[in-house]
Structure 1
């Protein structure tokens, strides 16, 4: 399982970076790939007991959620005003 989380996180992160770098109409989906990478890498960090990596990924998850919000995706815990 640890190997799966490591590879899923790495490949999802690369996909997210590629999508954002293309600067096309599908670029916003890069934020979702980053979120998947964050979740996988959080599991990986917990599985191997690396808490510096865990803190980093929690911070990256916050930026991914901000990117998802700014890209126009609805977040279930954010209510629209109006």
Structure 2
């Protein structure tokens, strides 16, 4: 199967972005809000990985995490500007 991104790349990119997002949030600093976009990108990588490997439980979980990432983005970037 030819694809733009390999399965291994999706897996490791998702893992690294997720860890970086968690690190940024744990700093409790003004840069912490940038953890949410990293989480969102990680979610997309994991969804792609789950679809490619037929890991539907992982896809379901990542859809839920995508909703929490979107909520985090709204809280930190939209509501905090008001």
| RMSD over aligned Cα atoms | 1.2
Residue pairs, 1:46-57, within 5 angstroms = 46-57=51-62
Tell me which residue corresponds to 1:15. 20
Return structure 1 stretches of 4+ with deviation > 4 angstroms. none
Q: Structure 2 unaligned segments of length 5 or more: list them.
A: 1-5
TM-score by length of structure 1 reads 0.88
Determine the C-alpha separation between the residues in 2 that align with 1:45 and 1:56. 10
CA–CA distance in 1 between the matches of 2:45 and 2:54? 14
**Separation in 2 of the partners of 1:25 and 1:49?**
38
Among 4, 25, 28, which residue is 2:30 paired with? 25
How many correspondences in the alignment?
74
**Residue in 1 aligned with 2:45?**
40
Q: What TM-score results when the alignment is normalised by the length of structure 2?
A: 0.88
